[in-house]
């Protein structure tokens, strides 16, 4: 484990070679309350990076800032070397960020099929065919049987799989997942884990994951630990010590 003061960036060595997402000195406020403090972090292509931290430390806030739902007061976010802070959320999605938010945010009164088709909106190059590729159903077979159900009528676990599938429809370069196992039974958690791992290995996209389940966290290549809105520790997940786990995971 590597301890840092929060202004020093600790990043995986691959990042220098193949940076997908780079965040430097990010400061985000909700009104006057200072939520994110001098956050430095990065995600490399083909790698899975996990962000851990107790409830309310600002993990979702960080992901929302990456997506453009929140405006940072200070700092820089680059995607594939280009600054993206001036882009709107829809432009960022089209630049290659797939977002699976906390709480899933399935559009309730659209069918599962329509929800999936919306995922295509992020895909660059129009004139694409409005159909769902078979790979999606290979990853999440449940979805195939319920294309005509209303999104709002699915169970939590099914919605979570739909949310990930929807993000993948846009063929993102970076997949951002906010607590994809929250409130989901263990067997489905394993399925989601396996699917995410497979996506990283087969497509070479980068994944930024916020997670509380230790087993899932260990699937990642690298971790960042957050406390009071700052990154306070980072390292390869193989070196995750019990001490870190106890301090930063709410399990």
Partner 1 sequence: MTQLLESLFGGLSIGSVLLLSALGLAIVFGLMGVINMAHGELMMLGAYTTFVVQNAFKKTPLEGFYIFFALIAAFIVTALLGLLLERGVIRYLYGRPLETLLATWGVSLILQQFVRSVSWQFIAGLLIFCLLFFGAMGVLSRLANFERIRGWVIGLMLPISAAISLTISHILGQTYKLAVTNPWFGTQGVDVTAPKWLRGGLPIVKEYQLPYTRLFIIVLTVVCVLGIYWFLNKTAWGLRIRAVTQNRNMSACLGIPTATVDALTFAIGSGLAGIAGCAVSLLGSVSPNTGQSYIVDTFMVVVVGGVGKLVGSIVAASAIGVISYVVSSNALGPLVGFSESLKGLFEFFATASMAKVMVFALIVIFLQFRPAGLFPQKGRTVDA
Ligand X SMILES: Nc1ncnc2c1ncn2[C@@H]1O[C@H](COP(=O)(O)OP(=O)(O)OP(=O)(O)O)[C@@H](O)[C@H]1O
Residues engaged in binding ligand X (CB under 6 A): 30, 35, 53, 55-61, 102
Min dist CB 63 to ligand X, Å, is: 8
Q: What is the number of alpha carbons within 13 Å of residue 154 lying toward its C-beta?
A: 30
CB of 85 to ligand X, least distance (A): 18
- Least CB distance from residue 83 to ligand X, whole Å? 23
Site string for Mg ion, 90-129 (x = CB under 5 A): ------------x---------------------------
| Rounded Cα distance, 145 and 137, in Å | 10
Q: Which does 65 bind (CB under 5 to 8 A by kind): partner 1, Mg ion, ligand X, none?
A: none
Judged by CB under 5 A, does residue 60 bind Mg ion?
yes
Residue nearer to partner 1 on the CB measure, 28 or 240: 28
**Residue 208 beta carbon to ligand X: minimum distance, rounded to whole angstroms:** 13
The Cα–Cα gap between 26 and 73 comes to 8
Q: Which ranges of 10-149 would DSSP assign to H, the alpha helix?
A: 13-17, 59-67, 89-95, 112-118, 134-139
- Which residues are within 8 A (CB) of 91 and not within 5 positions of it... i.e. 6 or more apart? 68, 84
In the bound state with Mg ion, the residue whose beta carbon lies nearer, of 4 and 102, is 102
* Residue 193 C-beta-side C-alpha neighbours within 13 Å: 20
Nearer to partner 1, 159 or 219 (CB): 159
Binding site for partner 1 (CB under 8 A): 67-69, 88-90, 93-94, 99, 101, 105, 107-110, 114, 117-119, 121-123, 130, 152, 166, 170
What is the Cβ-side half-sphere exposure of residue 50, based on CA atoms within 13 angstroms? Answer: 28
CA-to-CA distance for 162 and 91, rounded, in angstroms?
22
Smaller CB distance to ligand X: residue 30 or 239?
A: 30
Residue closer to partner 1, measured from CB, 11 or 60: 60
**CB 68 within 8 Å of CB 77:** no
Element housing 157 (H / E): helix 156-169
Provide, for the chain, the percentages of residues in helix, strand and coil under a 3-state DSSP scheme, each rounded to the nearest 5.
40, 25, 35
Nearer to Mg ion, 63 or 136 (CB): 63
Report the nearest approach of partner 1 to the CB of residue 243 (Å). Answer: 36
In whole angstroms, the minimum distance from the beta carbon of 248 to ligand X comes to: 11
Shorter beta-carbon distance to partner 1: residue 21 or 67? 67
Q: By the 8 A CB rule, do 204 and 45 touch?
A: yes
Token output for 247: 């301090």
Which among ligand X, partner 1, Mg ion, none contacts residue 180 (Cβ within 5 to 8 A by kind)? Answer: none
Q: Where do we find the tokens 């007061």?
A: 73
- Residues making contact with Mg ion (CB under 5 A): 59-60, 102
């Amino acid at each position: 484990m590597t301890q840092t003061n929060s202004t020093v960036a600790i990043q995986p060595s691959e990042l220098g070679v193949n940076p997908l997402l780079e965040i430097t000195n990010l400061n985000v406020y909700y009104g006057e309350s200072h939520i994110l403090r001098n956050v430095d972090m990065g995600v490399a292509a083909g790698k899975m990076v996990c962000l851990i931290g107790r409830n309310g430390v600002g993990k979702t806030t960080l992901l929302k800032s990456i997506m453009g739902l929140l405006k940072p007061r200070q700092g820089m976010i680059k995607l594939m070397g280009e600054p993206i802070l001036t882009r709107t959320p829809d432009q960022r999605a089209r630049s290659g960020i797939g977002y699976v938010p906390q709480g899933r945010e399935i559009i309730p009164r659209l069918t599962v099929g329509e929800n999936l088709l919306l995922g295509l909106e992020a895909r660059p190059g129009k004139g694409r065919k409005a159909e769902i590729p078979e790979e999606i159903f290979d990853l999440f077979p449940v979805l195939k049987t319920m294309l005509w159900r209303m999104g709002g009528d699915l169970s939590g676990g099914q919605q979570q799989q739909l949310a990930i599938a929807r993000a993948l429809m846009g063929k993102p370069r970076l997949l951002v997942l906010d607590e994809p196992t929250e409130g989901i039974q263990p067997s489905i958690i394993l399925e989601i884990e396996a699917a995410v791992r497979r996506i990283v290995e087969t497509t070479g996209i980068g994944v930024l994951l916020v997670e509380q389940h230790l087993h899932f966290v260990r699937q990642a290549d690298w971790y960042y630990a957050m406390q009071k809105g700052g990154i306070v520790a980072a390292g390869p997940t193989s070196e995750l010590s019990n001490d870190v786990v106890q301090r930063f995971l709410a399990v």
